[in-house]
Structure 1
Amino acid sequence: MKKPEYLYEKNLLKPITVLNIIDRAVADKKGFSLARFGIGEISYLSWPENTWLVQDFKRYEKYAGVFSSYQKIKAELATALDKADVVGVIIPSRLEFWAKQTKTVFQQLNFTPSTCCCAWIFQDYLKQTDIWPWLRKKKVILIGRRVKEASTIFHREGVQVVDTVAINSDIEIENVVNIVSAIDDWEVALISAGIPATILAPKIANATQKVAIDFGHSLDMLIDGEHFDHAKTVLEWKKNNIRK
């Protein structure tokens, strides 16, 4: 049996294409999810074959919202990979080692994404284009650790924020799905919650038949603007949340 060639990165969706797909899903009132598989996600999906990857990621573990066992996180991520409508992947031109590791993981899972984009699709878009005009046309829910800060800025920019839902760990995932499912009159959920965001996007889209986007650090960029500094954000969070 011939092995798949895994050339999915040759046909990445462009940001504007993804935005158009989201617009169409909103107009048609159909569920749609985008889940991104970055360094953390690929590290957990590599377990237990490559235990050193999760060990190396351990310094970010709690910040990334991981409180459950590696086995549970891997199973949840594998399900998200299978259920997401669009999969965000690490591409060779950005991080060659991690792009190769992504392919290794996909081969181990016997998975080939039918539709994918760059894992940093929204961050790249924000660096090039003003996203606020697009967001102003949406009724959004914000999900994540910094949703209160984000809500203030979104309102200031004229975006209709229907509700906000805080989440800090994967243990809260099912509760968040239930909360969001009970909220009416929204169109797009922007989820910035580390690894739980990857897991949540397809779960919320399936439960609500609406659009759920793993938005990642794009929310931090909208909050912090030109002052966005991921390393500094992580250090400040650790200082305030991890006991010595």
Structure 2
Amino acid sequence: MPDTGEVQDSRTDQAEESAYAKGFDAGYKAGAATGAEEEMASLLPPYTILPGVSAKEVMEAGLQRFLPRLQPLLKPEEVHVRLEQSLALKKPLSVVRLGDGELLALAHDTVLPLAHAKAAGPFLTRAGITLPDYEARDRLAEAVRGADIIGIPASRLPTYQGLLFPVLRYYGIGHDPHRFTISTINYALHEHRLLQPLLLNRQVLVIGNKAEPLAEVLSASGVHITGTVAPVNGFRDVPGALAATAQHTFDIALVASGIPAVVICQTIAAELGKVALDFGHLADKLISGELTYDDDAS
């Protein structure tokens, strides 16, 4: 057992991390609010002020003008229906997700200089790609182009929607309301209690470095796991993972393998005729117990 000092140190570290996180959140919100007010001030005519009106109020009023230009995304219930229909009819369907990692991978030496992409994505190697990797980038673009449903970020920050639309334009991927949903669709399916009905009485294959512990969690809750495929340490493991996948019998594959998950999911649908869902970090949260699969029950 750890001694009292070690336990106390651990608690102190946790308290400091928690305090830091709260401070960061408060600082970020304060900075964002200040930035919005400064931006609004820069748009006012010279020698004028606008008393008693916040930047948020101005944005809310101005947004009304642009409501006709809003573009819909598939809701969790609609994605669930598509998944259920594909499973029932034994038709292929791939659900992939684009976050900052995928977008930086697609953007390097296309819409962003390599140095900029590397500076913005120090985490990319852990996510499955080391820049530059033009073969992986082009394979990723091909997979996005061929995916059935694409999750895109709601965040308008520079490495999210700030990259999304330039990347889509560069690769000639148009916005089809029947193809796009939120990039957190994996969490949304869980939150809306749609994941468990989806997997009920289905043969499920789990793919990724944490495939075995995730399979154990799901199996303990009654999911029929037919196999696991691991490891997937970046794009170099994609061919082997796909070859192993082809040896299994399954209805739906849950893929948690970082950026390569996009390629794996799309290929499973296109070449094996199966349903594949980019499961992402939902796997980690189920394994750790932060989220519980049984909470997903209706």
- TM (norm. structure 1) is 0.82
**Equivalent residue, structure 2, for 1:144:** 208
Q: State the match for 1:65 in structure 2.
A: 128
Aligned residue in 2 for 1:27: 88
Residue deviations 1:56-88, cap 9 Å, x none?
A: 354312321225742112101110111100111
Task: Tell me which residue corresponds to 2:284.
Answer: 220
2:17 maps to which residue? none
* Residues 154 and 38 (structure 1), Cα distance of their counterparts in 2 relative to 1, 3 Å cut: same
Amino acid in the other structure paired with 1:170: F
Q: Which of 207, 229, 244 is the matching residue for 2:271?
A: 207
TM, length-normalised to structure 2: 0.68
Q: Which residue of 2 aligns with 1:172?
A: 237
Which residue is equivalent to 2:73? 12
Per the TM alignment, residue 36 of structure 1 is displaced from its structure 2 partner at its CA by 0.9
Task: Answer whether contact 2:84 2:198 (CA < 8 A) is retained.
Answer: no
Q: CA deviation at 1:226?
A: 2.2
Question: In the aligned structure 2, how far is the partner of 1:23 from the partner of 1:199?
Answer: 22
> For 1:137 and 1:8, how far apart are their aligned partners in 2?
42
Alpha-carbon separation, structure 2, partners of 1:198 and 1:20: 21
Q: What is the aligned partner in structure 2 of residue 3 from structure 1?
A: none
- Measured after TM superposition, the shift of residue 121 of structure 1 is 0.9
| Match for residue 258 of structure 2 among 186, 189, 194 | 194
Q: How far, CA to CA, are the matches of 2:69 and 2:229 in structure 1? A: 34
Offset at 1:39?
A: 0.4
Equivalent in the alignment of 1:54: 117
Matching residue of 1:38: 99
C-alpha spacing 1:178/1:9, structure 2 compared with 1 (3 Å): farther
- Aligned partner of 1:239 in structure 2 is none
Does 2:151 match 1:84?
no
For structure 1, the 5+ residue unaligned runs are 1-6, 229-244
- Post-superposition CA distance 1:15-69 (Å, at most 9, x none): 1211111111111111111111110111011111313443135431232122574
**Aligned-partner SS, 1:154:** helix
C-alpha spacing 1:135/1:46, structure 2 compared with 1 (3 Å): same
In structure 2, relative to structure 1, the CA distance for the partners of 1:17 and 1:224 (3 Å cut) is: same
- 2:105 and 2:129 in contact (8 A); partners too: no
Runs of 4+ off more than 6 Å: none
Name the residue aligned to 2:173: 111
Give SS of 2:125's match: coil
Contact preservation (8 Å) 1:38, 1:119: yes
Instruction: Judge conservation of contact 1:68–1:170 (CA < 8 Å) in 2.
Output: no
* Alpha carbons 2:105, 2:131 under 8 Å: kept: no
Match of 1:102 in 2: 164
Structure 2 counterpart of 1:155: 219
Count residues in correspondence: 219
SS in 2 for 1:59: coil
Secondary structure at the residue paired with 1:11?
Answer: coil
Letter in 2 for 1:157: S
One-letter amino acid of the structure 2 residue matched with residue 104 of structure 1: P
Structure 2 unaligned regions, length at least 5:
1-67, 293-298
Check the 8 A contact 1:144/1:193 in 2, yes or no: yes
Shift of 1:222: 1.7
Distance 1:18 1:130 in 2: 10
Do residues 183 (structure 1) and 183 (structure 2) align?
Answer: no
Q: Is the 8 A contact 1:132 1:157 kept in 2?
A: no
Q: Which has the higher contact order (CA 8 A, sep 6+)?
A: 1
Classify the secondary structure of the residue corresponding to 2:127: coil
Task: State the alpha-carbon separation in 1 of the partners of residues 69 and 200 from structure 2.
Answer: 32
